[in-house]
């Protein structure tokens, strides 16, 4: 299976980065903190242009909100980068936010996990989103998750490719396949999950799209 062109539309709009702390911390709610964190990561060279691997500058910021599992709205800020060479302005999006979605990435991840485990995710009471929204999340993840697995395998460092056992992957759900591949990249997943957010860091920094 080859990744489709529709999967690779992320980087000119979103570059997923780590923000320390949870959504309630100042690094999302406080504009100055968001901009300072982004500038620090750029200055350290931890965040670079995904198209040319060149240096970014922090161009500014804009308002963004997301919702937790109870549907409560959290208003915060997203820093925006700029690559002079590529003439692009990627949004430096924290990993707990899923691009183009209102709910936090780990909320969507929990719904997907329940669906893959055969649980009745629509009536579990763990998420305030309506059933049609949750079904859409599950359907989108199935399509994009399959493409993400292909991309993650193709971008593995050469030394690790020999350890990728496709037979083992076939026996796992998509979410578990992605989690297994993240360990090949030597990423330690947060205890609360963070599979989608962590995968998006790898995918966007390699210009492969996002989940």
3-27 tens-digit pLDDT: 444 454 444 567 888 765 555 566 7
Residue 195 lies in a domain: yes
**Closest listed residue to residue 198, CA positions, set 211, 51, 208, 87:** 211
The overall average pLDDT reported for the chain is 84
Residue 42 lies in a domain: yes
Residue 61 lies in a domain: yes
189 has pLDDT over 70 = no
**Closest listed residue to residue 157, CA positions, set 132, 185, 126:** 185
- Tell me the pairing of strands 57-67 and 14-17: unpaired
Q: Which domain holds residue 130?
A: 5-205
Residue 79 lies in a domain: yes
Distance separating alpha carbons of residues 157 and 188, to the nearest angstrom: 17
Residue 189 lies in a domain: yes
Taking only the tens place, the pLDDT of each residue in 68-109 is 999 999 999 999 999 999 999 999 999 899 988 999 999 999
DSSP 8-state assignment for residue 21: S
Residue 138 lies in a domain: yes
Contact 23, 96 (CB under 8 A): yes
**Closest listed residue to residue 151, CA positions, set 86, 103, 200, 190:** 200
Residue 211 lies in a domain: no
Provide the domain count of the chain. Answer: 1
Contact 98, 104 (CB under 8 A): yes
Q: Which of 12-16, 28-32, 142-146 has the lowest mean pLDDT?
A: 12-16
Residue 210 lies in a domain: no
Distance separating alpha carbons of residues 142 and 126, to the nearest angstrom: 20
Considering only CA atoms, give the Rg of the chain.
Answer: 17
């Amino acid at each position: 299976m080859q990744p489709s062109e529709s999967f690779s539309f992320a980087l000119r709009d979103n570059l997923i980065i780590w923000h320390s702390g949870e959504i309630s911390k100042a690094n999302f709610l406080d504009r100055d903190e968001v901009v300072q964190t982004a500038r620090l990561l750029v200055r350290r060279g931890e965040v670079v242009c995904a198209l040319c691997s060149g240096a970014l500058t922090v161009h500014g910021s804009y308002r963004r909100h997301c919702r937790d599992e109870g549907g409560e709205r959290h208003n915060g800020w997203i820093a925006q980068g700029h690559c002079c060479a590529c003439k692009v302005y990627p949004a430096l999006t924290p990993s707990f936010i899923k691009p183009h979605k209102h709910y936090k990435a780990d909320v969507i991840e929990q719904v997907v996990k329940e669906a893959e485990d055969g649980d009745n995710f629509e009536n579990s009471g763990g998420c305030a989103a309506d059933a049609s929204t949750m079904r859409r999340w599950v359907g989108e993840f199935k399509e994009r998750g399959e493409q993400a697995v292909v991309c993650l395998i193709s971008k593995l460092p050469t030394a690790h490719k020999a350890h990728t056992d496709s037979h083992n992957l076939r026996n796992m759900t998509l979410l578990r396949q992605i989690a297994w591949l993240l360990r090949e990249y030597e990423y330690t997943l947060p205890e609360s999950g963070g599979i989608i957010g962590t995968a998006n860091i790898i995918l966007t920094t390699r210009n492969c799209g996002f989940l």
